[in-house]
Amino acid sequence: MDIAGSAALVTGAASGLGAATAAALAARGATVYGLDLDKAVAAAGPLPEGVTLLAADVTEEEPVREALARIEADGAELRLAVNCAGIAPSARVLGRKGPHDLDLFRTVLNVNLLGTFNVMRLAAEAIARQEPDENGQRGLVVNTASIAAFEGQVGQIAYAASKAGVAGMTVTAARDLAQFGIRVVTVAPGIVDTPMMAGFSEEIRAGLAASVTFPQRLARPDEYARLVTMIAEHDYLNGETIRMDGALRMAAR
């Protein structure tokens, strides 16, 4: 698909993977609409040309529909949706204070899995209204899982379950949306240097980097963004979960 001239919807776009992806797509000529929570949008710095931030909770239907209606009202053709919004609290199934808090588990699944599904289904409806290209393609949805979907560490039970769900949707979603000319691909990053990592000490960050097979460093958000643009431009990638992890296989802790 051609990125230039298309509209893209990116969730979690105020920071981290979402911000890097929004900037990369805009640099390639896309009109980008980024979704994030109210406080994140308010705190965001200067935006790259071609990027508009809209306040919306991905777990709610109406705000996402309103964002999609804004894209349509602007006359932009939505061809790409990228789900980057997510949270990663830590808690064990059974810890010193008792069993895992059920509301916390529910919240993580609600944001990471239900939020991804909500945006995917509504964006797919909008993309399906676009005219197909000569190969019948109308667009693409890129979802974000994690290598925790396959090798969740101690304390990652909720996060791992939510991301395994995202990975598990990939083939079925690709098959469901094939009749509309929409591809679905999932990226499973390893350890990425995002704002969530900012609270870790240099010692911990160095230890995490050393655990990566090669290159022995944390991944950068712009590397995730470059992978998204490559997927968009590679029309034969579909129904696949791609690990972006430097061959890292997570240990138990």
- In this model, does residue 251 exceed pLDDT 90? no
Give residue 143's pLDDT. Answer: 99
Contact 185, 142 (CB under 8 A): yes
| The one-letter amino acid at 202 | E
| CA 152 – CA 134 distance, rounded (Å) | 42
Contact 186, 162 (CB under 8 A): no
Six token digits for residue 43: 């705190």
Task: Measure Cα distances from 207 to 151, 204, 246 in Å.
Answer: 18, 5, 15
Q: What percent of the chain has pLDDT over 90?
A: 92
C-alpha triplet 33, 225, 80: angle, nearest 5°: 40
Extents of the domains making up the chain: 7-243
Any bridge partners for residue 94, and if so which? Answer: 99
| CA 217 – CA 114 distance, rounded (Å) | 31
pLDDT digits (tens, 9 = 90+) for 39-71: 999 999 999 999 999 999 999 999 999 999 999
C-alpha triplet 177, 134, 70: angle, nearest 5°: 55
**Mapped to the 3 state alphabet, what secondary structure does the chain carry?**
CCCCCCEEEEECCCCHHHHHHHHHHHHCCCEEEEEECHHHHHHCCCCCCCEEEEECCCCCHHHHHHHHHHHHHCCCCEEEEECCCCCCCCECCEECCEECCHHHHHHHHHHHHHHHHHHHHHHHHHHCCCCCCCCCCCEEEEEECCCHHHHCCCCEHHHHHHHHHHHHHHHHHHHHHHHHCEEEEEEEECCECCHHHCCCCHHHHHHHHHCCCCCCCCECHHHHHHHHHHHHHCCCCCCCEEEECCCCCCCCC
Give residue 199's pLDDT. Answer: 64
- How many C-beta neighbours within 10 Å does residue 26 have? 21
Give residue 178's pLDDT. Answer: 98
Catalytic center residues: 159
C-alpha triplet 125, 47, 121: angle, nearest 5°: 15
Note the CATH number of domain 7-243. 3.40.50.720
pLDDT digits (tens, 9 = 90+) for 180-220: 999 999 999 999 998 877 766 788 778 889 999 999 999 99
Give residue 204's pLDDT. Answer: 74
pLDDT digits (tens, 9 = 90+) for 107-140: 999 999 999 999 999 999 999 999 999 999 999 9
